[in-house]
Structure 1
Amino acid sequence: MFCINCGHQNQKEARFCGGCGQAMGKTGRTGWMIAIAIGCLLVLGGVGYGFSQVLGTGDARTVSHVEPLSEREPAPLNEAPEASVQKAETPPPKEKEKTQVIQETLPRVFTIFTESGLGSGFLYAKGGLIVTNAHVVAGYTDVVVRNSDGKDAAGKVIGISDKYDVALIRSDAYRNLQPLRAESIETPIGTEVIALGSPTGLENTASIGYLTGLNRDIELGFIYEKAYQIDAQIDSGSSGGPLLDAKTGKVIGINSLIMTDNRRFGFSIPLYTVTPLIDSWVKNPMTERQVASVFGVYENYAVADSHDDETYYDDYTEFYEDGEGGEDYYPESAGYFDPDHLEDFIIEFRSTYETALYYEEFHFIEDFLLPGSSAYKEYRDYFKEIADQGMHFEFYENVVTDLTIQNDTALLSTYETFNFTNAEGDERFYEKEKVYEVLLDEEGYYRINRVENK
């Protein structure tokens, strides 16, 4: 047996080394410990190599650089990650997008008829509120609104400006139709656009182009500020129609003008520039007298962009002669009582009253009532009482059954039916006979002073 310290060869049974004198037993224990340590290192090295081979690398040191599974984006089965990203980012065909935008928008675009011509308009807000150009309806309070299916309905101008070429129409026939979405900021030049309307009377027309210019300030009877310049084709009769962002479908402008010497370019009022004005009419509609005072009711008004034709005149007059529309009673009735106009006054009041109940807005009917009268106070208090109660009214009949004129007072008896639904969904049908006491105010206009149930 050799001594591990000095290498001296000793006899097998020797307990101490004959060369250095060290005990021979310590040598065996230390050697076993070294052998065990070397063996452990070999085992760990083998495990590390094994892990590296399982993970697909020949070097165990690369294991520490592999991302934890929880932090990696999993790839779809049987598909490389790169292919998945490319598929998600590929947009639908552009032509299909435009087709969808046009199809969804057309039911909310209208042709507007007056005695002097026609224009276009679009549904701006709930309640059948339609935006058009002021020059389309200038001089009129009652118009005909035709939808994309060719159906006509009555419309009333409830907002109009003599400075900006914008007007607002209310048509109860479309009050439950969802309005178009409006863009609230400036649209960048180069945006692809769609113009909808009735150029030269060709209803349901859509033309595609680009927004080719910004901030065109024009004064032509009206003031057009920051107007959009477009190359989408528009013509007489397009006025008041919507200009859409071709990708989002939002209304970005109101088509208003064309260049007479170069019809390749048209101009549209940026919707965001007139939104505050339109919203003021939505919240506080102008009365018929206020609208009439802007241009004068049923007076001729020269406009350069409405399509004048006997066909459209006939469409307008036939609609109202058939009794589908209302009559303007204010100018002829001022200063005295006229039986026909009194009846129209009460029917118009009831129609407006239904709209006021729908929006829970007393100011809709305020102009029909004599300030300080019992009728004024009762209706005002009633609207406060029903506010936010979730009530619903649906009127059916409103007939004037009797009319008596006594000097400066008119008494109109009516038969009215309506359905009432409360917040819990309980319905009840009502039949009522009422008497309306109508007076002439200081300016000679009709005002309701008192209402009584028979």
Structure 2
Amino acid sequence: MKRTLVYLTVVCLIFISFLKPISAHSHIDVIAKVKPSVVGVGLYDALGAQTHQLKGTGFVFGDGTLIATNYHVVAQELDPKFVQYHIVFSGSGRHPAVDRAEIIASDPLHDLAILKISRKLPPVTLGSGQMKDDGTEVLLTGFPIGAVLGLYPATHRGIIAASTPDVIPSVNSNQLTTHLLEKLDKPFLIYQLDITAYPGNSGSPLYDAKTGEVLGILNKVFIKESKETVLEKPSGISYAIPIEYLRKLAVRNKIAL
């Protein structure tokens, strides 16, 4: 009897030891699949203190020339008196490739923008647009602290915590902008995430940890104290726009997916 119990215990331990590497290995494969499609989105300013400025993250989709990111990442108005234009950083390391980009579609309400570059990069696979269940394991790849030392995308792991209306109460009435009032009038569901992210992650692809299909676009981080302490004390609560709205933006502008 004792020998049988020992035998069963050994078998169970061996089985468990095989399960863990399989899960980890699956994440490695999925991240390796998505990572080449993650790009930096920024601004070229010929007269700026820093000519090539990284503003946020984006990802390649469609025919390989299309870049999805947040509208707020590219919302800065370009000054016609200076040489300024949007750029996309690709690759990794201290010397990434840089391509000039043009905004071809935007949706301020859902905080989305589509850019186009002249050459093709590896595209991601977009999800169907159907909302995913709470508890779905997800990955997030982007540039959480910018590109101080070069372009090095980082991946965080978490779950979809909830599908919730995209409304965050204002501290006072002075903060009720026209854009926010429109959101209050026409609320839509976004993903609330139990995942660590930072301001530089804006525009990062949120993707299924098992398949690599992009489910959403990260667009904001809940700050529990102040913007100055967000790197030191992250809240672990983030939000992402469902991929449904990127698909709709593309269709409205006759952009092939």
* TM-score (normalizing by structure 1): 0.40
Cα deviation for residue 271 of structure 1 reads 0.6
Cα deviation for residue 153 of structure 1 reads 1.2
Matched, 1:204 2:153: yes
Cα deviation for residue 118 of structure 1 reads 0.7
Q: Which amino acid aligns with 2:141?
A: L
Aligned equivalent of 1:179: 123
SS in 1 for 2:100: strand
Task: Tell me: CA distance 1:217–1:244, structure 2 relative to 1, closer, same or farther (3 Å).
Answer: same
Task: Tell me: CA distance 1:151–1:117, structure 2 relative to 1, closer, same or farther (3 Å).
Answer: closer
State whether residues 54 and 146 of structure 2, in contact with CA within 8 Å, keep that contact through their aligned partners in structure 1: no
Q: Which amino acid aligns with 2:196?
A: Q
Aligned equivalent of 1:448: none
State whether residues 193 and 238 of structure 2, in contact with CA within 8 Å, keep that contact through their aligned partners in structure 1: yes
Equivalent-residue separation in structure 2 for 1:232 and 1:282 (angstroms)? 34
State whether residues 200 and 236 of structure 1, in contact with CA within 8 Å, keep that contact through their aligned partners in structure 2: yes
Equivalent-residue separation in structure 2 for 1:91 and 1:263 (angstroms)? 28
Give the number of the structure with larger relative contact order, counting CA–CA contacts within 8 Å between residues 6 or more apart: 2
Could you tell which deviates more after superposition, 146-155 or 232-241?
146-155
Residues 3-402 of structure 1: pairs in structure 2 closer than 5 A: 93-114=22-43, 118-140=55-77, 142-149=85-92, 150-174=96-120, 177-184=121-128, 185-202=130-147, 203-218=152-167, 221=179, 223=183, 225-261=188-224, 263-283=235-255
Instruction: Please list every run of 5 or more consecutive structure 1 residues that lacks an aligned counterpart in the other structure.
Output: 1-85, 285-454
Instruction: Please list every run of 5 or more consecutive structure 2 residues that lacks an aligned counterpart in the other structure.
Output: 1-14, 46-52, 79-84, 169-176, 225-233
Equivalent-residue separation in structure 2 for 1:274 and 1:229 (angstroms)? 18
Equivalent residue pairs, number: 194
Equivalent-residue separation in structure 2 for 1:152 and 1:273 (angstroms)? 27
**Among the aligned pairs, what percent are the same residue?**
27
SS in 2 for 1:212: strand
Equivalent-residue separation in structure 1 for 2:205 and 2:104 (angstroms)? 19
Q: Which amino acid aligns with 2:60?
A: L
Equivalent-residue separation in structure 1 for 2:112 and 2:105 (angstroms)? 8
Deviation per CA, 1:114-153: give whole Å up to 9, x if none: 2575111011210510100000000357311011332111
Equivalent-residue separation in structure 2 for 1:206 and 1:172 (angstroms)? 27
State whether residues 207 and 216 of structure 2, in contact with CA within 8 Å, keep that contact through their aligned partners in structure 1: yes
Equivalent-residue separation in structure 1 for 2:76 and 2:255 (angstroms)? 23
Equivalent-residue separation in structure 2 for 1:257 and 1:126 (angstroms)? 27
SS in 2 for 1:273: helix
More helix by share: 1
Task: Tell me: CA distance 1:244–1:254, structure 2 relative to 1, closer, same or farther (3 Å).
Answer: same
Cα deviation for residue 252 of structure 1 reads 0.2
Q: Which amino acid aligns with 2:31?
A: I
More strand by share: 2
RMSD (CA atoms): 2.5
State whether residues 127 and 170 of structure 1, in contact with CA within 8 Å, keep that contact through their aligned partners in structure 2: no
Equivalent-residue separation in structure 2 for 1:112 and 1:212 (angstroms)? 28
Cα deviation for residue 278 of structure 1 reads 2.5
* TM-score (normalizing by structure 2): 0.69
Q: Which amino acid aligns with 1:215?
A: T
Equivalent-residue separation in structure 2 for 1:110 and 1:214 (angstroms)? 27
Deviation per CA, 1:389-417: give whole Å up to 9, x if none: xxxxxxxxxxxxxxxxxxxxxxxxxxxxx
